[in-house]
Amino acid sequence: MSAPGNYLTRLAGVEQRLRKRRAINKLATVYYLRRGVRGYTSQPCRMVNISESGCLVAVPVPSQVADHLYLVIEGVEAKFSCAAVARSDNGLHLRFNVELATEIVDRLARKKLAPRRPANDS
């Protein structure tokens, strides 16, 4: 007996992500070891989406970034150890070496709201 669906849906495969991705637009920097030389180098990047297990970052030259790197998000006082699991036209697909707490991901992905207006006392 064959699997449900047509040939193309079986060919595409099943979604393997366990966590929901959230849209994000944050500046960050990737730090990684230089090839052939001791020391670190970096590239600025922009986070496009994030989940507890990883994120997508757009970098200027993804081919130069090493497979193991540190991600520093603007406004967050922490370095996140990551592995580049894929490279695409969209950028680097990163997996966090330690999953982030859902509260942290929600806070990072939350859109900034306009300041609250004071209530009129009349």
Residue 4 confidence (pLDDT): 53
Q: In terms of pLDDT, which residue wins out, 34 or 46?
A: 46
Is pLDDT of 27 > 90?
Answer: yes
Cα separation, 115 vs 72, in Å, equals 27
Tokens for 70, please give them. 């540190």
What's the number of domains the chain is made of? 1
Q: Is residue 84 part of a domain?
A: yes
Going by C-alpha positions, the residue among 26, 7, 120, 10 that lies closest to residue 80 is 26
Task: Give the domain CATH number at 41.
Answer: 2.40.10.220
Report if residue 101 sits inside a domain.
Answer: yes
Q: Which domain holds residue 81?
A: 18-109
What is the average pLDDT across 45-49?
A: 95
| pTM for the model | 0.74
> Which band of pLDDT confidence, cut at 50, 70 and 90, is reported for residue 54?
very high
Place of tokens 């699997």: 3
In a domain, residue 100? The reply is: yes
CA–CA dist 41, 30 (Å, integer): 8
pLDDT, tens digit, 9 for 90 and up, residues 93-107: 999 999 999 999 999
Q: Residue 86 domain-assigned?
A: yes
Q: How far is CA 89 from the centre of its chain?
A: 15
Q: What's the token pair of residue 62?
A: 């993804």
Q: Would residue 23 count as lying in a domain?
A: yes
User: Is residue 63 a part of any domain in this protein?
Assistant: yes
H/E element holding 85?
strand 79-88
Polymer length of the chain: 122
Per-residue pLDDT at 85 exceeds 50: yes
Backbone angles phi, psi at 120, to 5 degrees: -75, 135
114 occurs within a structural domain: no
pLDDT confidence of residue 38: 77
Residue 118 belongs to some domain of the structure: no
